[in-house]
Amino acid sequence: MFQYLLLESIPALRETFSRYSAADNVQYKLTTDSNLVGKRIAWERIEVGPLLSRGAFGEVWACRYAGKKVAVKRLLQTKKLTFQETAKFINEIQLTASLKHPHIVRFIGVAWSSLENLAMVEEFLPRGDLQQFLKRSGDLMTWARDKVDMAIGIAKAIDYLHSRQVIHRDLKARNILLTKRLQPKLIDFGTSRVWKLNDMTAGIGTPFWTAPEYFYHVESR
């Protein structure tokens, strides 16, 4: 009887050990990454404000930290999180923290008291995303005065990423935020990854915004 119970419990034991191992790995990344050392923020120091946006896996809140307005991104709290989702978010945090460019959103810190409430703190950009801004005020903008500068700023951000072998993979107007002076800043590196030859995943990103040559490459595989 004891042997039968032991055999029956093996899958559950394996899952438990796997969960502990994954949790330890995530904690290790958070505490040893050179870009995250000294960047931990106590949740008690963050004043949570209104919800700004919500996607399939994450949500962004307008908050206050150290007397300034910030944006706080975390995984959805309305669903049970898997370690795969948490690990993917950790990778996004690590990548964002490593990026330093005037046209990429500035990383401020990371907050967590448990893996379930892990959050990334970034600078707050008051003008919102480019897509909504163009809908509201696009008719008032001119190429000579506004749009060329925006396009150049975005191109510089992409050039910086590519110089580090990073592919964004979801470049679109909603993933570009604007400063008070209408300077663009690239956000959302959840689908980004370091480029390796013949090692890119098909079907990532938003199809409407995907370059046509990418689809040609996928079709020809």
Q: What percent of the chain has pLDDT over 70?
A: 76
Catalytic positions are 170
Share the mean pLDDT of the chain: 82
Q: How confident is the model at residue 20 (pLDDT cuts 50, 70, 90)?
A: low
- 50 against 213, higher pLDDT: 50
Task: Give whole-number Cα distances, 18 to 15, 80, 203, in Å.
Answer: 5, 17, 29
Burial (0-12, 13-18, 19+ Cβ within 10 Å), 93: buried
Grouping H, G, I as helix, E, B as strand and the rest as coil, residue 108 is strand
Burial 64-73 (b: 16+ CB within 10 A, else e): ebeeeebbbb
- Tell me the pLDDT tens digit for each residue of 57-76: 889 999 999 999 999 999 99
Strand 46-54, strand 68-75: pairing: unpaired
pLDDT bucket at 143, cuts 50 / 70 / 90:
confident
104-127 pLDDT, tens per residue? 999 999 999 888 899 999 999 999
Which residues of the chain form beta strands (DSSP E)? 40-41, 46-54, 58-65, 68-75, 107-111, 119-123, 166-167, 176-178, 184-186, 193-194
Q: Which residue has the higher pLDDT, 140 or 210?
A: 140
pLDDT tens, residue by residue, 150-199: 999 999 999 999 998 898 878 899 999 999 999 999 998 877 666 655 55
| pLDDT recorded at residue 17 | 45
Domains and CATH numbers, the chain: 11-123 (3.30.200.20), 128-215 (1.10.510.10)
Q: What is the CA radius of gyration of the chain?
A: 20
pLDDT of amino acid 209 = 47
